[in-house]
Amino acid sequence: EVQLVESGGGLVQPGGSLRLSCAVSGFTFSNYWMSWVRQSPGKGLEWVANIKQDGTEKYYVDSLMGRFTISRDNTENSLYLQMNSLRAEDTAVYYCARDLGKWEPHQHWGQGTLVTVSS
């Protein structure tokens, strides 16, 4: 069974940093593109970033302005999102997702981890 479990969310002050993790099981992690997608409370969905199987290609939503970094460790079956210079508008549930492929949608999703940016 495909499983994705996010962790690392919590309350952080504006300007602070957090590192989200996504531990996967039930499939060969190194075979798949992976994404992070976020959802602000009561609002819609926003794709954040994705990463190629070997980590050599990464794409981000422009509005992040270089504050977030996606990475992966195929030996640990884990996906990461380093978030710096956090702002109130980054408050959201962050989901990791396994993509069908490059330029393909998100077939499997984790349950999400809540990030709250507030003083």
Partner 1 sequence: DIVMTQSPDSLAVSLGERATINCKSSRSVLYSSSSKNYLAWYQQKPGLPPKLLIYWAFTRDSGVPDRFSGSGSGTDFTLTIDSLQAEDVAVYFCQQYYSTPYTFGQGTRLEIK
**Residue 108 and residue 95: Cα distance in Å, rounded?**
10
Among 29, 36, 80, 95, binds partner 1 (CB under 8 A): 95
* Interface with partner 1: number of residues (CB under 8 A): 22
Opening angle at CA 47, ends 82 and 40, nearest 5: 85
Q: Which of residues 35-54 bind partner 1 (CB under 8 A)?
A: 35, 37, 44-47, 50
Cα-based distances in Å from 68 to 28, 31, 38, 48, 100: 25, 23, 13, 9, 23
**Residue 103 and residue 88: Cα distance in Å, rounded?**
30
Does position 103 bind partner 1 by CB under 8 A?
A: yes
Q: Looking at 24-32, 68-76, 79-87, 105-113, which segment touches partner 1 (CB under 8 A)?
A: 105-113
Does position 25 bind partner 1 by CB under 8 A?
A: no
List of residues contacting partner 1 (CB under 8 A): 35, 37, 44-47, 50, 59-62, 95, 100, 103-107, 109-112
